[in-house]
Chain A
Amino acid sequence: MNKQVREPLFHISKRGDMPWYFGWSIRAAAIILALISCGIISTLVTGENPIQIYATIIDGSFGSMRKFWVLLQNTAMLLCVALALTPAFKMRFWNLGGEGQALAGALAAAACMILMKGQSNALVMSCMVITSILAGALWGCIPAFFKAKFNTNETLFTLMMNYVAIQLVAYFSVVWENPKGSGNIGVINPNSMIGWFPTIGGQKYLLNVLIVAVITIGMYIYLNYSKQGYEIAVVGESERTARYVGIKVEKVIIRTMLISGAICGIAGLLLVGGTNHTLNSAIVDGRGFTAVMVAWLAKFNPIWMIFTSFLLVFLGRGAGEIATDFGLNQSYGDILTGIILFFIIGSEFFITYKLSFHKASKKEEK
């Protein structure tokens, strides 16, 4: 051959089995690198010294008892949506509709609180639980049905369902507006507190945290130790294998999305009944999207998700605190979150693949 073949600088190959801590140490390194670059950027933007920046980040979450509880509450809510999406993701069903499913649940819960005037608290609350779970499940089931029957692209379908839900909530926000003409629903039942979740031990958010903790453990057991969880894993790995061994793929898809939507519905219920006691189209606050990243970063393991959701909420609140303290715009938090995500996403490559450099390429030439 006349043409000289250019040797690539390095060769990429897949890694084989490796100890479990290997992947996590790479991820930890990525997070540390991300934090360092966030510190550098913040230093450049604010002109403060880096230690001050990190102190502010920590202060944003642990500065006071109230901030700490807000941190726990936000972590629990994000974790709840992430847990809901996990069974679908394990099935390789890209449910980007967490936002809409949670909103559907929130809408149902708020509807019970508003429309069931003069009923007892227990009745209203049980109706809230049932309807919001059903609403979330329904919202998740619609794309699943079409995916199962006609193989409709679920990523785009669930994405569009979010905006249908948002507009639906916007519609009811005007219908139930209080006071008239304000265009939004104020705090529902502020005096009778009907439909408000009880406070345990004087902590407003403790009940939410406990419920999500139960769901976390339940989801871990469901995915790892139940027959249905196994079926989900098989469908996710290979649909053909699943059909071959006699798993009804359509049934599994619809059933899993019912569960996924139902837990999203619970997240909506907790947001309305246990947290905000009101309804607006921004109540889920983008958690449906952030949860996708939480679940993916934890490799769909419910226990690891506690850490990833905590990490994202912690950093988000820290960045928010930097923004407030140094007079920056609140969107600064989004930029930092984005940068950290890029680092973690990029680090996955080094976990899955191995780079081997061609040091001795010249000697090989004959």
Chain B
Amino acid sequence: MIEFIISFLPRAIAQGIPLLYGSTGEIITQKSGNLNLGIPGVMYVGGICGVIGAFLYEQSLPSPEAMNSLLAVLIPTLCCLLGSLLMGLLFCFLTVTLRANQNVSGLALTTFGVGFGNFFGGSLVKLSGADMPFLALSATSNCFKKSLPIADKMGVLGDLVFGYSFLVYLAIAIALVASYIINRSRIGLHLRAVGENPSTADSAGINVNRYKYLATCIGCMIAGLGGLYYVMDYASGIWANDAFGDRGWLAIALVIFTIWRPNVGVLASFLFGGLYILHMYIPSGMNLAVKELYKMLPYVVTIIVLIISSLRNQRDKQPPASLGLAYFREDR
């Protein structure tokens, strides 16, 4: 049993971290009343921008030994943040400034983002001249994967608690800080007011558009880090087209599952990660078909949570009231 936990838990957490980044970002976005269905695209863009940064840095070096590990982490991270920020700005420009429909804009953003990721991913693979259909940035990945030195000395506890890279702890820290800010600070109060009832917030002197822009852009940058974590840490620096899969949608599922609470998201993302890889641990023998049914679990669980939360109809467990609606002052 202990062995099972030691092998299962870190993998579940590793699977959960991209979802945690994605869902924390999406919760901040949704709290401002913007339903950004472009998160899957943003995560792709975040991932590929990090890869582009790392690729250019690795190419510029005379030899892999010359790599400065601080720069190797900093350059891809900044590229990733910049790429996802641009995606966020695009979404905001369409939905907040031009008041376009959020569902349609989000889906277009996803189409664009996934295409962008796969296009540049495929082109980089070609540029690197590899025979394989993927791009390996193992040197950069090693810098990202450095864990605390004390982890090795602490046995089981070290593996389970301290054995992760900094992006894992960063994800948890961001989620907890986001939760604190949303629920306990004045900024969070204003943000929630904007998401619940923008015209009331507007009359109270809150700049609705500024909050929507900031929340969505910050949300996108956090979600983009999820893509970066996936490529650099989880996939060991290997970019393959479409490898990221449907994790972006799963992150949106996680938003509902946690009922818009990032702190709950920490544990819930581990649970989702566990559900996502559960099929590998089920002794199904030759019956491969059942594994496909297990992959359904995260979605089914989300649907059940969605139904239950609407059944109970408690005011604090509902989506932000003006979620998905554009705000126009003169429409009141």
Q: Is the Cβ of A337 less than 8 Å from the Cβ of B111? A: yes
The answer, among B105, B112, B288, B330, for a CB contact under 8 Å with A334, is B112
Interface residues on chain B, number (Cβ under 8 Å): 56
- Please indicate the chain B residues that have their CB under 8 angstroms from the CB of A171 in the complex: 289-290, 292-293, 296
The answer, among A159, A332, A339, for a CB contact under 8 Å with B252, is A159
CA distance A332 to B117 in the complex (A): 10
Q: Decide if B104 is an interface residue (CB 8 Å cutoff).
A: yes
Q: Is the Cβ of A163 less than 8 Å from the Cβ of B108? A: no
Q: Decide if B49 is an interface residue (CB 8 Å cutoff).
A: no
Known: A150-B310, A163-B249, A337-B111. Is A94-B103 also a contact (CB below 8 A)? yes
Q: Across the two chains, which residue of chain B brings its CB closest to A293? A: B104
Q: Is the Cβ of B108 less than 8 Å from the Cβ of A331? A: no
Q: Mark A211-240, 1 if CB is under 8 A from B, else 0.
A: 000000000000000000000000000000
Q: Is the Cβ of B108 less than 8 Å from the Cβ of A345? A: yes
Q: Mark B71-109, 1 if CB is under 8 A from A, else 0.
A: 000000000000000000010011001111101110111
The answer, among A96, A183, A328, for a CB contact under 8 Å with B119, is A328
Known: A156-B256, A342-B108. Is A334-B118 also a contact (CB below 8 A)? yes
CA distance A342 to B100 in the complex (A): 10
Identify whether the interface residues of B are mostly helix, strand, loop, or mixed. helix
- Please indicate the chain B residues that have their CB under 8 angstroms from the CB of A13 in the complex: 330
- Please indicate the chain B residues that have their CB under 8 angstroms from the CB of A290 in the complex: 111
Q: Is the Cβ of B319 less than 8 Å from the Cβ of A153? A: yes
- Please indicate the chain A residues that have their CB under 8 angstroms from the CB of B313 in the complex: 150
The answer, among B112, B288, B289, B303, for a CB contact under 8 Å with A342, is B112
- Please indicate the chain A residues that have their CB under 8 angstroms from the CB of B37 in the complex: 96, 159
- Please indicate the chain B residues that have their CB under 8 angstroms from the CB of A333 in the complex: 115
Q: Is the Cβ of B118 less than 8 Å from the Cβ of A14? A: no
Q: Is the Cβ of A346 less than 8 Å from the Cβ of B119? A: no
**A165 shortest CB reach to chain B, Å:** 9
Known: A153-B319, A164-B299, A289-B107. Is A296-B115 also a contact (CB below 8 A)? no
Q: Across the two chains, which residue of chain A brings its CB closest to B295? A: A167
- Bin the interface of chain A by size: 35 or more
Q: Is the Cβ of A150 less than 8 Å from the Cβ of B101? A: no
Q: Decide if A52 is an interface residue (CB 8 Å cutoff).
A: no
- Please indicate the chain B residues that have their CB under 8 angstroms from the CB of A346 in the complex: 93-94, 98, 100
**A278 shortest CB reach to chain B, Å:** 17
Known: A163-B249, A167-B299. Is A331-B104 also a contact (CB below 8 A)? no
Q: Is the Cβ of B108 less than 8 Å from the Cβ of A155? A: no
Q: Is the Cβ of A341 less than 8 Å from the Cβ of B111? A: yes
Q: Is the Cβ of A329 less than 8 Å from the Cβ of B299? A: no
Question: Which residues of chain B in 274-315 are interfacial with respect to chain A, using CB atoms and an 8 Å cutoff?
Answer: 288-290, 292-293, 295-296, 299-300, 302-303, 306-307, 310-311, 313
Q: Is the Cβ of A342 less than 8 Å from the Cβ of B90? A: yes
Q: Decide if A189 is an interface residue (CB 8 Å cutoff).
A: no
Known: A157-B303, A164-B299, A328-B119. Is A174-B94 also a contact (CB below 8 A)? no
- Please indicate the chain B residues that have their CB under 8 angstroms from the CB of A159 in the complex: 37, 249, 252
Question: Which residues of chain B in 250-275 are interfacial with respect to chain A, using CB atoms and an 8 Å cutoff?
Answer: 252-253, 256
Q: Is the Cβ of B108 less than 8 Å from the Cβ of A160? A: no
Q: Is the Cβ of A349 less than 8 Å from the Cβ of B98? A: yes
Q: Decide if B200 is an interface residue (CB 8 Å cutoff).
A: no
Contacts beyond the supplied A156-B302, A163-B296, A345-B94: 8 A-B pairs with Cβ under 8 Å:
A12-B328, A155-B324, A168-B293, A170-B295, A289-B107, A334-B114, A338-B112, A338-B115
Closest 8 CB pairs of A and B: A334-B115, A338-B112, A329-B122, A331-B118, A174-B289, A349-B98, A341-B108, A167-B296
